[in-house]
Structure 1
Amino acid sequence: MAENEHFTKTAENHASVLEKGGNYASACNTGYINRRPYEDKRHRSEVHHIVCEHSIKLRFNAYKHEPTRDYIEDCLWITDWDINNVNNLIGLPTNQRFRVDWASTSDTSRWTPIDLPSHQVDHNTSDGYTHEVSLWLQKNVWDTLNAAKKQHAVDAAKIKRQLEKGEKHFREELQERGTREPGKLVAWPNRRNAEYAKMWYHPFSMGKKPRHRNPGATGKVATRLLAQLR
């Protein structure tokens, strides 16, 4: 599509899906998956969009120049990529998996997953996972579309390849972060030890630079606090 060529969005040329929806949760088949009813308060896993919806939506903030923004939208319209595709989905534990399930047993063979971070730690913080993905998309997708505009050419297949590259890159990042030192099996039981105060939370974090986390009160202290609040 040349820059000066008229482009009309129609149902026939719409190829992309950029918002989460459908049966994506049941389609997910990788990562940590604990399929409990949503109403169950002991629900301890969630399906994560690797190239996440919030980061995709932030493309609107990247360009204030309306013609450029419209051009990017036209490009994405004809790109055959679905945010809910199985390669963009991974099951991640929630904090309760560790706080409740792990705390209920000293049998470390039952402490799973040991290779993935929590979906609730450093996901949407100002410098967390979503921010990192947004920056990656800006550099590797939106800016390349802007460059393509100057060259009077658009390659939808290339855009799709870049988005798929993001899926692969951040899946590997999540898996690597879930195994950061000192490792969950060491970090969790030692989280209140001074030696691990500045690192125990690293393998639980989705972020590139984990934010400091308080290990929380011990069981006896927590019980006393709750009794005082009653």
Structure 2
Amino acid sequence: MNGLELDRITKRFGRVTVADELTLSVRHGDAVGVVGPNGAGKTSLFGMISGDLRPDAGEVRFDGHRVTLLDPSVRCRLGIGRTYQVPRPFLRMSVFENTLVAAQQGARARGRASYALAARVLGETGLADLAGRPAAQLGLLQRKRLELARALATRPKLLLLDEVAGGLTDPEVTELVALITAARERDGLAVLWIEHVVRALTATVDRLICLAGGRVIGDGRPLEVLASAAVKDVFLGTEATADALTEAGLGPDDDQRA
């Protein structure tokens, strides 16, 4: 299969299980959201996909390659790009230099091609006017844009987004959704997106997964998953989820399906 495959992944930290024989697939071009309560294993899932974390058991495959034991840098060059909840720019470098490093090290672009790629991505993410500014001087939205730009500059086939909408205002979330949608449509990449701002997911993804206790308890069309009894039990109490259902015409106690 072209894309990502997780085959019975298990990960424990002491007595806490963050992945319990988790099986999951994401094909190229898919846009998949991931929700769940705190401690559900969402960020650990990203760590095992990107290589920051190794599973105790099971296998990670990408485009037919077994990548379970490969370093993050190798996975990045194979086409797995990611962002982090807290942006991680090189603070003393400029916005352009941050993006250039990603283009050269992740996409393995060289010479003029690497400069062109970095410049193109900054234009696409609305950062061209800030190219010469040190990353340390950026505000939150600008840092999140830079985090996204750095990931896109690696030319990923699969983009992992970890709560990139957190802390943003409603207009900023709308801008971010537009950026991600445009990147997906332009480059045909797959997106796997962890987010507590659920309306950002329902506006972007075709499929939603809910994790709890290291297991998938919901997988399907976003509003159907949010309205399911199992997901309501563990996740619907959050304000973000209730708001998402209300906007879609499904109240927290409504058993309708979208």
Smaller-chain TM-score bracket: under 0.3
Please tell me whether Structure 1 or Structure 2 has the larger radius of gyration of its CA atoms: 1
- Specify which structure has the higher proportion of strand: 2
TM-score (norm 1): 0.24
TM-score (norm 2): 0.22
- Specify which structure has the higher proportion of helix: 1
